[in-house]
Amino acid sequence: MISIKGLYKQFDQLEVLKGIDLEVEKGKVVVVIGPSGSGKTTLLRCVNVLETPTKGVLTIAGQTLDFSKNVSKKSIASFRRLTGMVFQNYNLFPHKTALENVMEGPIIVKGEDKAKARKKAQELLEKVGLGDKIDDYPSRLSGGQKQRVGIARAMAMEPEVMLFDEPTSALDPELVGEVLKVMKDLAREGMTMMVVTHEMRFARDAADEVMFMDGGVVVERNKPNEIFSNPKEERTKRFLNMIM
């Protein structure tokens, strides 16, 4: 479903991604871990083409972008629609209700009919447990509720793949569980997911694979049980010792 080949990203003189290769099969969940500055966010932003990779080939659901060639704006826009992104800080529109936040993308980007978009948004908000909050503005929602709106909003675009960048790290501890539950439900329903998170419980329960990044490279990838109980690389051991 996702194929990343030889992905590089450079900001000015700083090379942040140094040749990332990754395959994620349809319906699988990959959790990405690694120290601050290792390139996790940059990797997700490249997959979503919010950043343009310096080099490399991305394929999602049969669509390919090869960044060693010229890539048109149109092909980027169509590629971006394959992925839904959930951000640490929700990025909701403050002047729109929960429902309007979820409806916006399908109407503006996909030109969907308003009534249809409304119905779908309502269903998605019910699914994430916010059926009674659809007319509330973000300022009236808790962090966990805002993040669940963020997930519903990404899902409304009917992406092939969902990308999560530390979706629970801005939340009070008691609100983390409700967001992780929604993510686990999505995983169970067969959504293909890349998740940057420090929630090792989530990684254990929901990930098919955990990928440890450091310094812009993939140091080690394995099944959660393997990598947590039997990390092979020194750098992985040191990192896991620090966070677990």
Ligand X SMILES: Nc1ncnc2c1ncn2[C@@H]1O[C@H](COP(=O)(O)OP(=O)(O)OP(=O)(O)O)[C@@H](O)[C@H]1O
Residues contributing to the site for ligand X (CB under 6 A): 11, 14, 16, 34, 36-42
CB of 97 or CB of 168, closer to Mg ion: 168
The single residue among 38, 41, 147, 197 that binds Mg ion, judged by CB under 5 A, is 41
CB of 44 or CB of 179, closer to ligand X: 44
CB of 40 or CB of 153, closer to ligand X: 40
Structure tokens at 30: 């990959």
Q: What does the DSSP 8-state code read for residue 198?
A: S
Strands 83-86 and 55-60: unpaired
CB of 96 or CB of 235, closer to ligand X: 235
Spatial distance between the Cα atoms of 1 and 192, rounded to a whole number of angstroms: 8
Q: Nearest distance from residue 150's CB to Mg ion, in Å? A: 16
Q: Nearest distance from residue 4's CB to ligand X, in Å? A: 15
Q: What residue 38 binds from Mg ion, ligand X, none (CB within 5 to 8 A, per partner kind)?
A: ligand X
CB crowding 95-104: b at 16 or more within 10 Å, else e: eebbbbbbbb
User: Which residue is it, tokens 């990332």?
Assistant: 20
Q: Nearest distance from residue 11's CB to ligand X, in Å? A: 3
Q: What residue 42 binds from Mg ion, ligand X, none (CB within 5 to 8 A, per partner kind)?
A: ligand X
Q: What residue 44 binds from ligand X, Mg ion, none (CB within 5 to 8 A, per partner kind)?
A: none
Do residues 195 and 202 lie in contact, with contact meaning Cβ atoms separated by under 8 Å?
yes
CA distances to 25, 74, 82, 136 from 132, in Å = 36, 38, 29, 9
Q: Nearest distance from residue 166's CB to Mg ion, in Å? A: 6
CB of 39 or CB of 138, closer to ligand X: 39
Structure tokens at 103: 């409806």
Burial class (CB in 10 A: 0-12, 13-18, 19+), 33: buried
Q: What residue 148 binds from Mg ion, ligand X, none (CB within 5 to 8 A, per partner kind)?
A: none
Structure tokens at 199: 């929630």
Binding footprint of Mg ion on the chain (CB under 5 A): 40-41
